[in-house]
Amino acid sequence: MQDDISDKKPSSSNIRVVVADASLMLRRAMARMVRKTSDIALLATTETTEETMDAVRRLFPHVLVMDLAGEGLDGLSVLRQLKAEQLRCAVVLFSAPTMTGAESTIRGMELGASDFVAKPVSGSFAVTLSVIEHELLPRLRALGNSTRGLTRQPLPSFPPPSAASAVEGIVRKARLSAPPRAPSQWESSFPTGVVVIASSTGGPDALMRLLPAIPADFPTPILVAQHMPPLFTATLATRLNQVTALRVLEALDGEPLLGGAVYVAPGDRHMIVGRDRLMLRVRLNSDPPVHSCRPAADVLFSSAAEIFGAGVLGIVLTGMGVDGTSGARAIREKGGRILVQTFESCLVNGMPKSVHDAGLANEQLSLSEIAARMRTHF
């Protein structure tokens, strides 16, 4: 049943939200939390695909919060219809923290979803309220304030995820868990430079555009700190590996850094560059979050600066907050370079703007320009 429930008259300054979810508890928790805000108006809650599309067409929300799967609700179908009808609202997915949920979420982001929040494992009302307050409301504000000027281009036509993608990820991890070859066999591939990338809200979309433009013989490793929870980073890495000539994988602790490989930091682990005699390796740790983020770009950027010095190319893509700013400063102090994504091409420009406003960006470029600069930098 569709409910038009706003108890405040939306003003031009309000962020207009529709919630589509089969869970009555979640809809009630969302309504309770929004009533405490002055800048967000919950226009309606819906339970089915048809109700959701009707609400978007009638009410013109800035943000749609949507479960991907429920009785009568097919979130991927909604995303396809939004795209086909060119209905320009940001979409935040409520995603189950399972392998199936992660795969559906990455597919949803390929179809145009802006971000996601992992559903709490506990089904209690208090935990749901906490997730909404600390995880969802900041995304609604960031996306709602950027939706009016949204200028995203259509996604390229990637092939659909294969049914074997989860198996491919397991096989890849087993292969990479094998004992490494002796250092002498790797010395000719010892990298003298590195690319480190920071991304958050809108990052999977940006990475899907950026990395396919990089050739397989790219000479340096690429390390990515994407703000995502566990399972979702593994699925993202698997999907990126399918659409780019580069070798993309979720990083494992201790594996060597090689040119032409992309290492995605696992959810809830910091990733740093470590030195082991003549080899450089990925190192993972569970140190405290930085800016409430783990993995944090600041941690990755700072470690890369210590090891590679002027050989670091740091890239800050779309995202909320300030993660990457202090790490960019460490890179600049060692003689490395920093590129930030143009504000108008970001889904949320918080992270690039923070670096730019601190005077740390060497260049502000579109994604295609960043790819071109990567190809010629080393």
- Which of 147, 179, 204 is the endpoint of a domain? 147
- Sequence-distant (≥ 6) Cβ neighbours of residue 44 within 8 angstroms: 2, 3, 4, 5, 6, 18, 19, 55, 59
Buried b / exposed e along 214-230 (16+ C-beta atoms within 10 A): beeebebbbbbbbbbbe
Res 94: pLDDT: 87
Highest mean pLDDT pick, 60-74, 141-155, 362-376: 362-376
pLDDT digits (tens, 9 = 90+) for 245-259: 999 999 999 999 999
- What pLDDT does residue 101 have? 85
What residue numbers bound the domain in which 56 lies?
Answer: 3-147
Contact 295, 225 (CB under 8 A): yes
Band of residue 190 on the pLDDT scale cut at 50, 70, 90: low
In-domain check, residue 158 = no
Same-domain status, 229 and 292: yes
pLDDT value of residue 26: 84
pLDDT at position 35: 82
Considering the domain architecture, whether residues 8 and 132 belong to the same structural domain is answered as yes
185 in a structural domain: no
Query: Is 255 within the bounds of a domain?
Result: yes
CATH classification of the domain holding 287? 3.40.50.180
Q: Residue 56: inside a domain, yes or no?
A: yes
| DSSP state, residue 377 | H
Inform me whether the pLDDT recorded for 15 exceeds 70. Answer: yes
Q: DSSP H helical segments within the chain, as ranges?
A: 24-35, 49-59, 75-84, 99-110, 125-131, 137-147, 165-176, 203-210, 232-243, 297-308, 325-333, 350-357, 367-377
Q: Is the pLDDT of residue 2 over 60?
A: no
State mean pLDDT over 121-134: 81
The pLDDT of 35-62, averaged and rounded, is 92
User: Is residue 293 domain-resident?
Assistant: yes
In this predicted structure, the answer to whether residue 173 has a pLDDT above a threshold of 50 is: no
Please report the pLDDT score of residue 11 as a whole number: 63
Assess whether 129 and 221 both reside in one domain: no
Q: What is the pLDDT of residues 195-237, one digit of tens each?
A: 999 999 999 999 999 999 999 999 999 999 999 998 899 999 9
As beta bridge partners, residue 41 has: 16
117 and 31: one domain?
yes
Rounded (5°) CA angle 39-45-51 = 130
Nearest C-alpha neighbor of 198 from the set 304, 91, 344: 304
Q: How confident is the model at residue 176 (pLDDT cuts 50, 70, 90)?
A: very low
pLDDT tops 60 at residue 19: yes
Within its chain, how far is the Cα of 190 from the centroid?
A: 29
Residue 175 reports pLDDT greater than 70? no
Mean pLDDT to the nearest integer, 179-187: 38
Binned at pLDDT 50, 70 and 90, residue 121 comes out as: confident
Is residue 277 in some structural domain?
yes
pLDDT band at 241 (very low <50, low <70, confident <90, very high): very high
| Confidence at residue 126, expressed as pLDDT on a 0 to 100 scale | 85
- pLDDT at 158 (0 to 100): 38
Q: Point out the least confidently predicted range of 70-79, 138-147, 260-269.
A: 138-147
The residue with tokens 């990567």 is 374
Number of structural domains, the chain? Answer: 2
Q: What is the mean pLDDT of the chain?
A: 85
- Higher-confidence residue: 187 or 134? 134
User: Do 130 and 45 belong to one domain?
Assistant: yes
Residues annotated catalytic, as ranges:
200, 227, 323
Residue 323 or 150, more confident:
323
- At 61, the amino acid letter reads P
- For the chain, helix (H) and strand (E) counts, in that order, are 13, 17
Query: Is there a single domain that holds both residue 370 and residue 228?
Result: yes
Query: Does residue 175 or residue 281 have the better pLDDT?
Result: 281
Question: Do residues 260 and 358 both lie within one domain?
Answer: yes
> Does 135 share its domain with 212?
no
Q: If pLDDT is split at 50, 70 and 90, which confidence band does 346 have? A: very high
Q: Are residues 223 and 136 in the same domain?
A: no
* pLDDT at res. 4: 52
Residue 143, C-beta contacts closer than 8 angstroms, at least 6 positions apart: 62, 63, 90, 92, 114, 115, 201, 347, 348
Of 114, 131, 147, which closes a domain? 147
With a CB cutoff of 8 Å and minimum separation 6, the contacts of 194 are 220, 221, 222, 223, 257, 273, 304, 307, 308, 311, 312, 313
Q: How confident is the model at residue 188 (pLDDT cuts 50, 70, 90)?
A: very low
Q: Establish if 173 belongs to a structural domain.
A: no
Residue 13 sits in the same domain as residue 140: yes
The CATH number given to whatever domain includes residue 58 is 3.40.50.2300
Give the Å distances, CA to CA, from 232 to 161, 299, 332, 350. Answer: 14, 20, 31, 22
Residue in the structure block whose two tokens are 């048809």: 50
Tell me the percentage of the chain whose pLDDT exceeds 70.
85
Q: How far is 208 from 219, CA to CA, in rounded Å?
A: 20
> Two tokens at 244?
């780019």
Is residue 167 assigned to a domain?
no
Q: Are residues 238 and 116 in the same domain?
A: no
User: Residue 166's pLDDT band (boundaries 50, 70, 90)?
Assistant: very low
Determine the Cα–Cα distance for residues 258 and 192; give it in Å rounded to an integer: 10
Evaluate if residue 178 carries a pLDDT over 60.
no
* Over residues 23-38, mean pLDDT: 86
Regarding whether 119 and 218 lie in a shared domain, the answer is: no
